[in-house]
Amino acid sequence: MSVKKYRRFFYSLPEVANRPEEKLIALAKAGLKEEIRQGLEKEEFATLDALFEEAEEVEEGLKETPPSSPRKRRRTSPDHRSSKRDASR
């Protein structure tokens, strides 16, 4: 499912009206495809719309990236997951 379709689906859920935005952001982020979650530059988002906008940008970047190229966007945070994975090898 594309991010655009997922966004529409997510906003159509009845639970969206009854939960604080920070909880919705966590739920929406967890529901994104793993490769999109990994490509997000931020760990936290101020709004649900900000999460979906960045997720759409990541998705577009993944479409434009050849399969042989690295797909992960560079993270700005010093605590990124790739170093943790590399350390366990």
Three-state SS at 35: helix
Q: What is the span of the domain harbouring residue 65?
A: 3-87
pLDDT band at 15 (very low <50, low <70, confident <90, very high): confident
Band of residue 89 on the pLDDT scale cut at 50, 70, 90: very low
- Tens of pLDDT along 46-79? 999 999 999 999 999 888 876 655 555 555 544 4
The C-alpha angle with vertex 51 and arms to 46 and 57, in degrees rounded to 5, equals 135
3-class secondary structure, 65: coil
Q: What is the pLDDT of residue 87?
A: 47
Give the number of domains in the chain: 1
Q: Is the pTM of this model over 0.75?
A: no
pLDDT over threshold 90, residue 83: no
* Separation CA 82–CA 60 (nearest Å): 21
CB under 8 A, 24+ apart: contacts of 60-66? 62/35, 62/36
